[in-house]
Amino acid sequence: DVKVTQSSRYLVKRTGEKVFLECVQDMDHENMFWYRQDPGLGLRLIYFSYDVKMKEKGDIPEGYSVSREKKERFSLILESASTNQTSMYLCASIRLADTDTQYFGPGTRLTVL
Amino acid sequence: GEDVEQSLFLSVREGDSSVINCTYTDSSSTYLYWYKQEPGAGLQLLTYIFSNMDMKQDQRLTVLLNKKDKHLSLRIADTQTGDSAIYVCAEGFAYSGAGSYQLTFGKGTKLSVIP
């Protein structure tokens, strides 16, 4: 079974702190994605990566950056957390030769105080 | 991205059938998906349908695709209280800017099953 894991299920940070959210997949997938999910807004794509060291902005990249140094790991960075970044963050991955599904991690509920 | 629309809420009685509807806009979609999301959890793939199919059945789940109207539906037969969750519709398409395949998601339909 494909497994996508995220470093934390729940995280509480203060305004201005630097926050790292990590995502790891164990199936050699090329594509990895970071979304945030908010009530009434659904999933919105923040960034995605189609290969090591490659990244593309999604629909809402402002205030975020990403890092993909290894194929299995995709990190989301909040350089200076703000209260409007309180949200559920979901990581996902997919292999291009297998476009049946996008596999999701369990999510990280981030609260910024 | 393209829009995927679905109604926000649906209530059904236990044992009845549930039908959750979704409309999408991108005619070049290759696959369409239904995900289930339990409270506080990530999305779990329920089923998917290739865009050149009309119907797919998988135990209690039936997916119907009307490509002309860009309408997708998920029918859950004999709905149980354990089916209470948010159901998210998604369409997949190749992203031309890079070697990537992406999904656009609906906001989700919250299904409540009344015992």
Kindly report, residue by residue over A19-51, the tens digit of the pLDDT: 999 999 998 888 899 999 998 888 999 999 988
What pairs with residue A74 in β-bridges? A23
Position A12 scores a pLDDT of 97
Looking at per-residue pLDDT, the higher value among B27 and B33 belongs to B33
Q: Give the count of Cβ contacts less than 8 A between chain A and B.
A: 62
Looking at per-residue pLDDT, the higher value among A96 and B97 belongs to A96
Do B42 and A107 make contact, defined as CB atoms within 8 angstroms? yes
Do B42 and A90 make contact, defined as CB atoms within 8 angstroms? yes
Kindly report, residue by residue over A3-21, the tens digit of the pLDDT: 899 999 999 999 999 999 9
Q: Which residues of A touch B48 (CB under 8 A)?
A: 100-101
Given a contact cutoff of 8 angstroms between Cβ atoms, the answer to whether A106 and A92 are in contact is: no
Kindly report, residue by residue over A57-110, the tens digit of the pLDDT: 999 999 999 999 999 999 999 999 999 999 999 999 987 666 567 889 999 999
A108 burial type by CB count under 10 A (0-12 exposed, 13-18 middle, 19+ buried): buried
Rounded Cα–Cα distance for residues B38 and B86 (Å): 7
In sequence order, the 6+-apart residues with CB closer than 8 A to the CB of A62 are: none
